[in-house]
Each structure stands twice: as C-alpha cells, then as structure tokens.
Structure 1
Amino acid sequence: MLSEFKAFVMRGNVLDLAIAVIIGGAFATITKSLTDDVIMPVVGWLFGGFDFSSYFIRLGPIPESYAGSPTNYAALKEAGVPLFGYGEFITVTINFLILAFIIFLLVRYANKAMARFEKDEAPAADPADVVLLREIRDELKAQRGGQ
C-alpha cells in the first residue's frame, strides 16, 4: 500500500496540482493586495471616498462593553456583532474577477505559445530532390513487381 501511495504522489499530475495550489495561494495574496491597495483606493477616489468595506447592515445589538465606532465594520465584527457585510462581499467579488481575468490571460497566452511551439515543431516539407528520389524508388518497385 505504501508503494502504491508513493507511485500516486509521484505522478506528474499530483505534483503539478500541489505546485499549482501553492502558487495559486501566493497569487491570491498578490491579487488581494492589488485590489485592496491599488484598485479600491482609486475607485474610492474617483467616486468621492467610496469605500466598499464600510458598507454593512448591523443585524444585532452592539454590546454594552463596545467602545469603538458604530460604523467600523472590522471592530464591530471583532466585537461579535452580527453583520451583513455586503461591501466586503463586493470587494471579494472584485478580487475574484481580477484573479479570473488574469488567469484567463495567462491561459490564453499559454495556448497561443503552445500552438506556436507546435507549429514550429511541425515536420517541414521534404525537399524536391527527396520527393523525386521517392518517386523513382516507387517506380522501380512497381516495374520489378510487374515483371
């Protein structure tokens, strides 16, 4: 059983998948930073301070011991207040769309590169003298076979 497991783990597909998951996790943090630190501030600036993360609906009471701002989503969430954070959902959706678009571009580029690579590796047409020699060979075979 151990040898079967080792053969399974050492397969190319499993190793490729493991590498893809690790790289995908790292790539997700880059995408999150791109969205949170670059895109969303620009969107907020364009729309006059529009910040998606501050949009939420409080679904329960604020505890008496809470001393923070009643409009601070992160602090309210940490305090255990039930919240409907649709602004955070919008941010996560934008993260996903950016990530999906970047992956689409990568796959598109990889497909084009593979097609170009396969086209370059396609066997070249035989030179005219090789074609002529094959025709002569075939003709000689036909004449010998006919006698």
Structure 2
Amino acid sequence: MFKEFKTFIMRGNVLDLAIAVIIGAAFGKIVTSLTEDILMPMIGKVFGGLDFSSYFVVLGEVPANLQGSTDYAALKKAGVPLLGYGEFVTQAVNFLIVAFIIFLLLRVVNRAVGMFEQEKAPEAPAVEPADIQLLREIRDELRARRP
C-alpha cells in the first residue's frame, strides 16, 4: 500500500497540484491585502468615509457590555446575529479580483499555447484537385513518349 501511495504522490499531476495550492494560498493573501488595504478604503471613502467592512445590521439581542458598539468583529465574536453586508461586499470584490486575474492568466496561456501549436504543426502542402493531378500525369506521359 505504501508503494502505491508513493507512486501516486510522485506523479506529476499531484506535485503540480500541491505547488498550485501553495502558490494559491500566497496569492490569496496578496489579493486579500489589496482588497482590504487599498480598494475597500477607497470604496468606503466614496460611501461615507467609514470602513466598509463594518457595515452591518444587528438582527438580535446585543449584550449589555456591547450596547451601542459599532465594532463588527467584537459583536460577531460575542455571538450577536448580524447581517454583515459590508463584509460580504468585501469578499465579493475579493472574488472578482481573483476571477479577473485568473481570466487574464488563462487568456495569456491560451494565446501562448495557440502560438506554440502554430509553430509546432508544419503547414501541410495543399492537396491538388484530382483533375489537375490527372492533367499532370498526361503531360508527363506525353513527354516520356517523345523521342
């Protein structure tokens, strides 16, 4: 069983997947920072200058020690039911950024593969129509009969 597992792990696809997961995790942190530290503050400025991720609606009882609090993280940690639409918008922007970057990467890869395929495949000679081939054979036969 260990030998089968070793064979499975050493296949190229599994190693490629492991590398992709590691790079994806690091890329996710970069996108999260871009969203939370650069984009969302600008969007928050447009929508009133507040931290956009702290936009929420309280749906239940708030503990006495947190009455009047506008700290989304503290209320959430205390177990208060919240409709955190600001955090949802932040995550949606995160998703759109990742999806757009993946789209751009796939577009570049598809173009590169297309260019490679064009270079790799030699151009096949054009097939002559049958009547042209027949006429060439007749011409060659007539030339061969001449003294």
Residue 100 of structure 2 corresponds to: 101
Unaligned runs of 5+ in 2: 126-147
Distance 1:47 1:56 in 2: 14
- Maintained 8 Å contact 1:55/1:85: yes
Distance 1:90 1:109 in 2: 29
Q: What's the offset of the Cα at 1:119? A: 1.9
- Maintained 8 Å contact 1:43/1:50: no
Which letter maps to 2:34? L
Give CA deviations for 1:41-100 in whole Å, capped at 9, x if unaligned.
222233441543121111222212337x52111121122222121211111011011101
Mapping for residues 30-69 of structure 1, pairs under 5 Å: 30-49=30-49, 51-66=51-66
Distance 1:121 1:50 in 2: 56
Residue 142 of structure 2 corresponds to: none
Q: CA RMSD in A?
A: 2.2
- Maintained 8 Å contact 2:43/2:52: no
| 5-14 or 48-57, which deviates more | 48-57
Residue 89 of structure 1 corresponds to: 88
- Maintained 8 Å contact 2:58/2:81: yes
Unaligned runs of 5+ in 1: 127-147
- Maintained 8 Å contact 2:53/2:90: yes
- Maintained 8 Å contact 1:35/1:94: yes
Distance 2:29 2:57 in 1: 27
Q: Percent identity?
A: 62
- Maintained 8 Å contact 2:55/2:87: yes
Residue 119 of structure 1 corresponds to: 118
Residue 11 of structure 2 corresponds to: 11
Aligned residues: 126
Which letter maps to 1:83? L
Distance 1:7 1:81 in 2: 50
In the superposition, the TM-score normalised over structure 1's length comes to: 0.75
| 74-83 or 30-39, which deviates more | 74-83
